[in-house]
């Protein structure tokens, strides 16, 4: 999973970034267009609606732990904390560290 930003705005929604998700088992790639200005919640919903709803919850997510998903000022009581903790922080696998 990685983000490509700085793209030339295009399409009817004028998106300027792309979330790339690679399935290691089937070797398939999904390109999910979005706006660079979207928040972590918007990206989590994009992931939920396009990956989890069709393929199920992945056992492993390999990511570079973008600062968007590891902010320093989380409030543990907020729903945002629990959604992001479940989707991105707990499931992340660090290939370079293992």
| pLDDT at residue number 66 | 59
| pLDDT at residue number 9 | 85
| pLDDT at residue number 80 | 58
The answer on pLDDT for 87 being more than 70 is: no
Domains and CATH numbers, the chain: 2-93 (3.30.420.10)
The answer on pLDDT for 73 being more than 60 is: no
pLDDT, mean of residues 67-90: 55
| pLDDT at residue number 96 | 53
pLDDT digits (tens, 9 = 90+) for 16-69: 888 888 887 788 889 988 888 888 788 888 888 888 877 777 777 766 655 555
Distance CA 16, CA 79 (A): 28
Task: Name the more confident of 19 and 96.
Answer: 19
Q: Which of 53, 51, 61 is nearest to 85 (CA)?
A: 61
The answer on pLDDT for 98 being more than 50 is: no
**87 exposure class (CB count in 10 Å sphere: 0-12, 13-18, 19+):** buried
Annotate 31-97 with DSSP letters as a single string: EEEE-TT--HHHHHHHHIIIIIHHH---S-EE----GGGS-S---TTSHHHHHHIIIIISSEE-TTT
Distance CA 66, CA 12 (A): 27
């Amino acid at each position: 999973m990685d983000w490509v930003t700085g793209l030339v705005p295009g399409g009817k929604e004028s998106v300027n970034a792309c979330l790339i998700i690679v399935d290691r088992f089937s070797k398939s790639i999904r390109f999910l267009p979005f706006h660079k200005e979207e928040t972590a919640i918007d990206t989590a919903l994009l992931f939920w609606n396009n990956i989890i709803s069709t393929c199920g919850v992945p056992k492993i997510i390999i990511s570079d732990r973008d600062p968007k998903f590891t902010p320093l000022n989380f409030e543990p009581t907020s729903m945002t904390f629990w959604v992001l903790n479940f989707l991105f922080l707990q499931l992340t696998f660090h290939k370079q560290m293992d």
